[in-house]
């Protein structure tokens, strides 16, 4: 009876992966071989060789494994390409989000600067309006005083008799001031005279800044010549050393500067 040998699987690599379908195909091919007479064995039995069929099976398995490796490389390449595309898409989206945030921050900063500039301009305009208002008020007050002064200067001077001392000088000055509309009281005049000159009509300050500038303070109320010239009251002697003229000119200056000689409590 003829004997057969199954093909040897020793030449198939261990790492070679073969699917169940390919093994089945290879098995069918191996079993469907054509018997070829083989040399007789030592006991006289005829032996048939399956070497050609086994070689074909091995070749089929190699081809199947190669195809699988090729498909694996294709899948790996496709996965890598897909991952790269996903990464590029994600990077583009992140870049767009970053640009949008940067633009939003830039617009917010510009809006903040516009608001600050508007607030600054509003403050400047308010300050300018306030300054203009103060200037108008000062001009109105000056106009009012200027309108009153001609009438004061035109008023008559009293001809009453006064003692030739500090009390008489103050009383005569008060009568003249009342006729000119210049405010002031006996106490206000006396207090400032005592502080400035101790009641000496010939007192001169030769050491202060006025003296350094060449215009020393003179008289009962220590008036400098430019101030006496500017505020001298008509009807009094044009003499800075004259006690009554000195008092009235100083009171006239204090009226213009402080509202009254009574409002003066220090150097003026």
Average pLDDT over residues 172-196: 96
The residue ranking higher by pLDDT, 164 or 43, is 164
The mean of the pLDDT values for the chain is 76
Strands 217-218 and 204-205: antiparallel
User: Percentage of the chain surpassing pLDDT 90?
Assistant: 38
Over residues 60-80, the mean pLDDT reads 70
Helices (H) and strands (E) in the chain, counts: 7, 2
Who wins on pLDDT, 5 or 104? 104
- Which long-range CB contacts under 8 A does 115-118 form with residues at least 24 apart? none
Closest listed residue to residue 177, CA positions, set 242, 223, 228, 244: 244
Long-range contacts of 121-124 (CB under 8 A, 24+ apart): none
Closest CA to 214 of 203, 223, 206, 222: 206
Reported as a single tens digit per residue, the pLDDT across 126-151 is 888 888 887 787 777 666 655 555 44
Top-confidence residue, 261 or 131 = 261
Residue 192 pLDDT class (50, 70, 90 cuts): very high
* pLDDT for residue 42 is more than 60: no
For position 76, what pLDDT does the model report? 79
Query: In Å, what is the CA distance from 114 to each residue of 77, 107, 120, 124, 248?
Result: 55, 10, 10, 15, 59
pLDDT above 70 coverage of the chain, percent: 67
Q: Is the pLDDT of residue 35 over 80?
A: no
Q: What is the pLDDT of residue 146?
A: 55
**At residue 224, does pLDDT exceed 70?**
yes
pLDDT at 214: 92
pLDDT at 57 over 50: no
Q: Report the C-alpha gap between 203 and 192 in whole angstroms.
A: 14
**181 — pLDDT class (breaks 50, 70, 90):** very high
The pLDDT value recorded for residue 24 is 39
Mean pLDDT score, 176-205: 96
- Predicted pLDDT of residue 142: 65
Question: Tell me, what's the pLDDT at 79?
Answer: 82
The whole-number pLDDT of residue 177 equals: 97
pTM: 0.43
């Amino acid at each position: 009876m003829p004997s057969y040998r199954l093909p040897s699987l020793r030449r198939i690599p261990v790492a070679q992966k073969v699917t169940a379908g390919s093994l089945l195909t290879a098995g069918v091919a191996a079993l469907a071989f054509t018997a070829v007479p083989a040399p007789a064995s030592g006991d006289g039995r005829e032996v048939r060789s399956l070497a050609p069929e086994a070689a074909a099976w091995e070749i089929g398995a190699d081809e199947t494994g190669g195809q699988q490796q090729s498909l694996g490389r294709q899948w790996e390449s496709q996965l890598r390409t897909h991952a790269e595309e996903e990464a590029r898409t994600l990077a583009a989206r992140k870049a767009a989000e970053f640009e949008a945030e940067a633009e939003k921050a830039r617009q917010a900063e510009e809006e903040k600067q516009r608001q600050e500039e508007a607030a600054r301009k509003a403050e400047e305009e308010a300050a300018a309006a306030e300054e203009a208002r103060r200037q108008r008020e000062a001009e109105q007050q000056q106009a009012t005083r200027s309108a009153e002064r001609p009438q004061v200067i035109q008023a008559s001077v009293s001809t009453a008799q006064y003692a030739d001392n500090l009390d008489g000088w103050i009383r005569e000055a008060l009568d003249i001031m009342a006729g000119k509309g210049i405010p002031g009281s006996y106490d206000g005049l006396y207090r400032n005279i005592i502080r400035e000159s101790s009641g000496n009509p010939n007192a001169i300050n030769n050491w202060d800044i006025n003296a350094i500038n060449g215009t020393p303070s003179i008289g009962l109320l220590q008036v400098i010549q430019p101030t006496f010239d500017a505020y001298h009251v008509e009807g009094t002697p044009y003499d800075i050393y004259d006690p009554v003229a000195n008092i009235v000119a100083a009171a006239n200056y204090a009226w213009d500067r402080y509202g009254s000689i009574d409002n003066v409590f220090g150097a003026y």
